[in-house]
Structure 1
Amino acid sequence: MAIDQTTVFDEKLQAQIAATAATAVKPGSAYTLIDFSAFSQGHYTEVVTRGIIEAPISAKLRDDVSERALRTFDACMTGQSAFARKSLLAAVVQVQSTATNDLAKSDILAALKDIGDKVRASPAADRVLFLASDMLENSSVASFYAHNTVRRVDPAVELRKANAAGLIADFGGARVYVIGAGLLSGDAKARNAYRDPQTMTALRQFWTLYFQQSNAKVQEFGAPALLSPISY
């Protein structure tokens, strides 16, 4: 899971982010929470927390274990999942509490290049990236803004810029779910803050192409909310 600290989410989206994160914590799974931002003082890409939840005993093996031992093990597993879920959600809240609209830049492409390395290194057979961000790049490589509003990008042109800058990642075949794309947050009251359908379609097309080239597949592009739960 990766959260963009340049995106300030409203309460409804914060609740959906928390609920989605909570479902990732289950027996036999592992999770990593990363925050990312513009590369400015106090804001950078870092691993906030990570955890592993042990797999349960198989049904076949349970027949060979005493009831007392099973009760102890099951209680331990329940406690482990509860502790991991509580720790992850506390970290999510902490990351979101430090989000700001005041940073001039948003280096999403550069951050995703680093995040891709971590996702690819995971030994999991099924890699899932839950990405909470407005997905509005604003860096020295590319800017999705013009005249103080979000512009309609040309996906092919922007993808060539990402390739030229060496910012195509490798996510190791991960499934990607985005929440917050094109979000109206700090600029909601500003003139020209409206995101027209063509602008959002172009934004979706760019990131779909980017992740395809980065060995990943966008399963859902929440603009801004996810319409279906993530299947972990």
Structure 2
Amino acid sequence: MKWRAMLLLHLCLCGTTLAANIDAVRSCRDKMLPPFPPSTRELLVIIDQTTPLSPALQQLVADSIRPLLVAGSSFSIAVFSAYTQDHYADVLAAGTLEAGLPSEARDDVAKPLLLKLDLCRRRQPQQAAQAAGQALRAAYLGTSGEIARSDILASLKALSSVIGRSTAPEKIVLIASDMLENSSVANFYADRGRAVRKLAAAKELRGVEDKRLLADFGGARVYVIGAGLLAGEAAFKHSYRDPQTMQALHAFWDEYFTRSNARLVEFGQPALLNPVR
């Protein structure tokens, strides 16, 4: 039991880039077993590769994911950047940690098959943690503050289908991004990218609706890490984001997610103050 606990205590952020792993957790299904209960939780983690995160924020993402990789949960790790920079929205890893059979169903299964099933399911958290950690590492290795554009709105609409179509009653979206759109749709920057522009949320949202860029997150709870970060902030250490500007940015995204069938629970500026639940 101790080795399982240790594996769950850490999502490894070491390793190399990887190809998409959309079946990251080996299924324990067997034709001799009754069907497993469906997933009760769907987790979607979205990494904006135009937003370099500090090591502390990278670890915060991993720490936020770790408690959610439990039996009965499905997860996806996705990235996006700017369509004009040979980058695009993509899912790097996905998998399902299967829920256990109800006790009455287990009573009808032969003991050797139950032992095999239990061993398989004990391995699933390790497989999920490894796949998620590798995907995060790959996402961070592909991140750059030099990417000129950031198609956040279009990417969120595209990626929302990953969780919007899920039948799980509980849906969670964790987004690591500065949430500063810079595309043909809108530009949330000021002073040549050295500051955040104070948004008129209602006006910006009309533009989003006109361009049909609202998404459908299927009633998910949304958490953001990294809001308002500026790429290359070390060079612009005197740049100042006043509370009113950040409140306006928060107000825009709060209403955006409401109209996109989701609820913005916490808007980390840049870190979360409460655990993802």
TM-score scaled by length of structure 1? 0.93
Q: 2 CA distance for matches of 1:227 and 1:198?
A: 19
Segments of structure 2 that go 5 or more residues without pairing to the other structure are 1-44
Alignment length (residue pairs): 231
Pairing 1:37–2:81 present: yes
Task: Give 1:124 deviation, angstroms.
Answer: 1.5
TM-superposition CA deviations, 1:112-142 (whole Å, max 9, x none):
1111222211222212111111100111111
**Equivalent residue number for residue 209 of structure 1:** 255
Would you identify which runs of 4 or more consecutive aligned residues in structure 1 move more than 3 Å? 59-72
Q: 2 CA distance for matches of 1:223 and 1:59?
A: 45
Q: 2 CA distance for matches of 1:106 and 1:184?
A: 12
TM-superposition CA deviations, 1:36-84 (whole Å, max 9, x none):
1111343111111111111112244445556655443222111122112
**Equivalent residue number for residue 49 of structure 1:** 93
**Equivalent residue number for residue 135 of structure 1:** 179
SS at match of 2:232: coil
SS at match of 2:256: helix
TM-score scaled by length of structure 2? 0.78
**Equivalent residue number for residue 12 of structure 1:** 56
2:219 to 161, 169, 173: 173
Deviation larger for 143-152 or 131-140: 143-152
SS at match of 1:13: helix
Superposition CA RMSD, Å: 1.7
SS at match of 2:252: helix
1:223 to 256, 262, 269: 269
**Equivalent residue number for residue 123 of structure 1:** 167
Segments of structure 1 that go 5 or more residues without pairing to the other structure are none
Correspondences of 1:24-173 after superposition (within 5 Å) = 24-62=68-106, 69-148=113-192, 149-173=195-219
Q: What is the percent sequence identity of the aligned residues?
A: 45
Contact 1:179 1:223 (C-alpha < 8 Å) held by counterparts:
yes
Q: Which amino acid letter does the alignment assign opposite residue 92 of structure 1? A: L
SS at match of 2:174: strand
Task: Give 1:100 deviation, angstroms.
Answer: 0.4
Contact 1:184 1:193 (C-alpha < 8 Å) held by counterparts:
no
